[in-house]
Structure 1
Amino acid sequence: MRKERWLMRPNWGLVSAAMSVFVALPALAQQGGPPPGGHDEPDGPGAYASPSAIPKDPATVDLGIPAPQRLKRLEPIELPEPLPKIQGKDLNLPAIPAFAPQPQPHLDIARPQNALTLRATLGKDGPEIPADLVWRLFSPHAGGDGKLPVIAVAKGGEAVFDVPPGAYLLHVGYGRAGVTKRIDFNGRETRETVAIDAGGLRLKAKASETSDLTSDKVQFDIYSEATEDRDRRLVASDIPPGVVIRLNSGNYQVVSRYGDVNAVSRAEVRVEAGRITDAVMKQRGAQLTMKLVREHGGEALADTAWSITSTQGDLIQESVGAFPSMVLAEGDYVIVARNKDRIFQRQFHVESGKDADVEVLTSDLVDPNSPEIGTGD
């Protein structure tokens, strides 16, 4: 049969097999396909063979996909030999020319062409203040809320404002020091220098001659100068000791609070421009720790309420606990302890700078005829 003869032919390449398939396709179209039942007629066309049914020989078939190739062995690269010497001398090659120096960017590259530049000095002829300044430009006309609108704000040393021409109110702050000035800007590059008459104030406090009081025991408040106390303005509050506070030059009242009861002292201090003023305030008070005991050196009884009064009966302080501690100003006091509806009291004198443990005995019972107190535990 023709089918057998075609299959018995020698192995052709992909091109010959494809041509046979394409030749058979038109014949099938003209003859109407193979006879029913799949039997070939003697004079009919040969059998149709799908290209996928053709045996594939890896050595001869090419599908258009590059066949994977084994990696080639990479031979080491030989390094160049040193340059030979000519008549025993090294080659004198020309040196590489140096690059031309590049111009450095100007520091004022972002500065507006027509700007208002402001700087501040410590005093009229003092040094320039390089940092820690706060600049504020205000409009001279009040807004709808009655306040001057803020036009621009800057922080640091020198300030540069890109604002339209006009009149402004300038306030520059340096800590608690500051100055206000009117600025008339014409729209062209303008430089203004503001003198701040400021100095520093550093405060300390002592309750004795041996040591300074620490920040957990003493705080300072600074008030402006005034003839009447009600006219004084609070400038700074809760200032710890040893910290430099920047203030305008002038006189101030300093209030030192030792503890939080009644140990308070006051002093008038003058701040000089361009310098730091150190002020040491004397505190007249001491810290007391109280306990209610059955005998000297005994255990403190719990659930005890305490009241401290003056000898005239004015209440000074109240506390609850087995070991209440407080700072009291120098003077005489009456210490009252309450435990299980029983009252004990004793008088005590506070001496400045001498901290003490104060014991109230159960024998200090106000009503000796009352029953004996329990343990309180």
Structure 2
Amino acid sequence: MFEGTLRLFLIWLAAALLMVPVSLAVAQDVDGLGELKLPGISGYAPPKSETSLALGSSGAITLSAQLTDKGADITRGIVWRVFKPESASDGKLTMVASSHGGTAIFQLEPGSYLVHASYGRAGATKRITVGKEAKRESLVLDAGGLKLDAVLSGGVRIPPKKLRFSIYESHAAADGDRALIIPDVEPNSVVRLNAGTYHVVSTYGAVNAVIRSDIRVEAGKLTEATVEHRAAEMTMKLVREPGGEAIADTSWSLLNESGDPIKETVGAFASVVLAEGDYTIIAKNRDRIYQKDFTVVAGHNQDIEVLATEASAIDSEEGAD
């Protein structure tokens, strides 16, 4: 009797344990898992094509650029911009995608687009058509590089901080002006440009030491150009005796050979870079004016002393008359 009752109890207990949910059983066996919430797993089917299902009907377009026809792909430094071909209400094109680097891959809705690739100051634009199938397009930039430098007579180096270049279009307008492409180019820096001829202005200092030249850039090549400045650096000071200390609070006015003022400054010293030629320097201190004529020889830097003597002084009121 007792054995039969015990057997029935064990059968009932086993059936009860089988009815406990699996998650509850695990939660009871391991502390903390009862509070863990796992997301459900959604059913999915493998894609039937290489195009991601998340992209819908868009197509992949691979864009690459070369400096010349049949040249190697540019691997870095390109800015890609993709536009809709139709202008917006403001008359501008709407950009739909962009990328930086080398070869780029875009996922775009099927249709027509305008693609612009810029590489420094070089660039090219091409109309492309995107479909559902992946495709590749190439842009030939027809561009090269330009590296500029300048020296003094005899090959003497010019301090880079005092040297700057500006690059203009080669063709001048009716009024003689040229369109500025790039200002303040540092020496020995490489500028990327479309192939063609450019008007380059080299400025040494900040007065009149200027050299102009036309330079041609060839596609796929680095053009290195060095110009020669026929100029020198002059340092002027007003002294009471030769080799004496510079007198402070002096106003300086520099005149060219024609008598036209080309530079004015104030201080104990006046340091300027000048093109070779004849000049007159006028120094004013208190109520007295002093002047001196001098000549600039290319490549020969000089210290110009103006003596504050009665013989060289001009009364300021007389000078005004």
Deviations 1:350-374 (A, max 9, x none): 111111110001135333899xxxx
Q: Secondary structure at the match of 2:154?
A: coil
Matched, 1:222 2:167: yes
Change (3 A) 1:120 1:111: farther
Q: C-alpha distance in 2, partners of 1:230/1:137? A: 36
Q: C-alpha distance in 2, partners of 1:129/1:135? A: 12
Of 282, 287, 290, which residue of structure 1 is paired with 2:228? Answer: 282
**Larger strand fraction of residues:** 2
Q: 1:130 corresponds to which residue? A: 75
Query: Identity across aligned pairs (percent)?
Result: 48
Of 358, 362, 366, which residue of structure 1 is paired with 2:304? Answer: 358
Q: Secondary structure at the match of 1:348?
A: strand
Structure 2: 5+ residue stretches without partners: 1-50
Q: TM-score, normalised by structure 1?
A: 0.66
On the 8 A contact 1:214/1:241 being kept in 2, the answer is no
On the 8 A contact 1:136/1:171 being kept in 2, the answer is yes
Q: TM-score, normalised by structure 2?
A: 0.77
Q: How does 1:162-173 map to 2 (within 5 A)?
A: 162-173=107-118
**Structure 2 residue identity aligned to 1:313:** G
On the 8 A contact 1:139/1:167 being kept in 2, the answer is yes
Deviations 1:157-200 (A, max 9, x none): 11111111111111101111111111121232111111111111
Matched, 1:260 2:206: yes
Change (3 A) 1:338 1:346: same
Q: 1:147 corresponds to which residue? A: 92
Q: How far has the Cα of 1:227 moved from its partner?
A: 4.4
Q: Secondary structure at the match of 1:216?
A: helix
Q: 1:180 corresponds to which residue? A: 125
Deviations 1:66-122 (A, max 9, x none): xxxxxxxxxxxxxxxxxxxxxxxxxxxxxxxxxxxxxxxxxx999978311101122
Change (3 A) 1:243 1:111: farther
Q: Tell me which stretches of 4 or more aligned residues in structure 1 moved more than 6 Å.
A: 108-113
On the 8 A contact 2:288/2:316 being kept in 1, the answer is no
Measured on the aligned residues, the alpha-carbon RMSD in Å equals 2.3
On the 8 A contact 1:285/1:351 being kept in 2, the answer is yes
Q: How far has the Cα of 1:230 moved from its partner?
A: 4.2
Q: 1:120 corresponds to which residue? A: 65
Q: C-alpha distance in 1, partners of 2:161/2:314? A: 39
Q: How far has the Cα of 1:295 moved from its partner?
A: 1.4
Q: 2:137 corresponds to which residue? A: 192
Change (3 A) 1:231 1:124: farther
Of 204, 216, 238, which residue of structure 2 is paired with 1:270? Answer: 216
Count of matched residue pairs? 263
Q: 1:303 corresponds to which residue? A: 249
Q: How far has the Cα of 1:231 moved from its partner?
A: 5.7
Q: How far has the Cα of 1:338 moved from its partner?
A: 0.3
Of 201, 204, 212, which residue of structure 1 is paired with 2:157? Answer: 212
Q: How far has the Cα of 1:313 moved from its partner?
A: 2.1
Q: Which has the larger radius of gyration?
A: 1
Q: Secondary structure at the match of 2:108?
A: coil
